Structure 1
């Protein structure tokens, strides 16, 4: 695993914002959006690729474009950035009605990522351990899926989680409205790491990625 790179506080534009939301007014925020995945789901129907893995890859691709979503803390409590972060995502065990958390290394090539992630989901679909691969990498971020409900709001309440700077994503069930297929997505963010501008940019880039899903079969747009 690559070491994190400390942020140069003398030149960092968000230094005051980080200090404010990390120490004076520590807080997280969440936003829930509906992504138009009409083209995305149509492409998946023509593909042998799994929808969930494609969703996770798209999230990982956009997250890895932006330092504010790859942030962590040094041992001294100062902000730093991972060179790359990896998605950790849930897999449901219907017999036990529990889920496990697995992870796959980020790869800019969707096909290569799918080749690693698909066997993981199959292997651990009956997992009885919460973390069947062992401890997650420190540079991981979380993705959960709630395919049973199409929600319009979702909020996590993280007790004493002020050191957790990585974003958390929750995906919902597809719904159809006015001939379009929509996917609910909740984004949970530490305000010390990112402002509303950054979260909105991430969502807009994700929308653009699923609106032109040529990467499902060909070369990805990293």
Structure 2
């Protein structure tokens, strides 16, 4: 069951930070980094598995490790943390030059996640509606891809989005530098949910995960 558990404000170390950045100085921040994905790209060549799904799974794995990236606001206006977050990701329709947004339940086993997510990319590649699966669960976070361009900065301006505490990720086109392959990764974060320390840790853990892609060769159990 996907449940959002209220945070105990009396013992929460970030209570003052949350209240400051949500009520007194509401703000989000964006950061873009180049992640070394050389080893993951090499492993994907021999795996027969889809690059985009591997990227999405790796992000979802790190997001689900840390409560600050699974935060929401209850109907009473209080902060809470989802048990699990599922990734929602974009699927491009080249004929219409539009995209659809789909989601797949997170599974800590990459092989099982890939087997569930890969058919979604094929099924909805020609989708004509924005959300072909219907309403998405509230405990989803967004991943989008811009495989056509390399970027050094990316940010979103969200009108009235001060209660959107979940991270938003944007992936760019691979590029080569000094014989290594890099992925531009942009992260949009609400300051009430996470500070720079937390986002830096997420980036470090994502970099480590794609740098040791033994999970790509796992088999469904």
Normalising by the smaller structure, the TM-score range is over 0.9
Paired residue total? 220
- The answer on 1:163 being equivalent to 2:167 is no
Deviation, 1:3, is 1.9
Counterparts of 1:53-92 in structure 2, within 5 Å, are 53-92=53-92
Number of the residue aligned with 2:181: 181
Deviation, 1:218, is 2.1
Number of the residue aligned with 2:48: 48
Number of the residue aligned with 1:205: 205
Deviation, 1:217, is 0.5
TM-score by length of 1: 0.98
CA 1:219/1:192 → structure 2, altered by over 3 Å: closer, same or farther? farther
Distance (Å, rounded) in 1 between the aligned partners of 2:171 and 2:203: 13
Number of the residue aligned with 1:4: 4
Number of the residue aligned with 2:117: 117
Residue by residue over 1:115-172, the C-alpha shift from the partner in whole angstroms, topping out at 9 and shown as x without a partner, is 0000000000000000000011100000000000010000000011001001000000
Distance (Å, rounded) in 1 between the aligned partners of 2:153 and 2:23: 27
- Unpaired runs of 5+ residues, structure 2, are none
Deviation, 1:22, is 0.3
Distance (Å, rounded) in 2 between the aligned partners of 1:205 and 1:14: 22
Distance (Å, rounded) in 2 between the aligned partners of 1:30 and 1:77: 24
**Superposition misfits of 4+ residues, deviation over 4 angstroms:** none
Distance (Å, rounded) in 2 between the aligned partners of 1:121 and 1:133: 12
- The answer on 1:98 being equivalent to 2:98 is yes
Instruction: Quote the RMSD (CA, aligned, Å).
Output: 1.0
Counterpart secondary structure, 1:157: coil
Counterpart secondary structure, 2:47: coil
Residue by residue over 1:87-109, the C-alpha shift from the partner in whole angstroms, topping out at 9 and shown as x without a partner, is 00000000000000000000000
Counterpart secondary structure, 1:148: coil
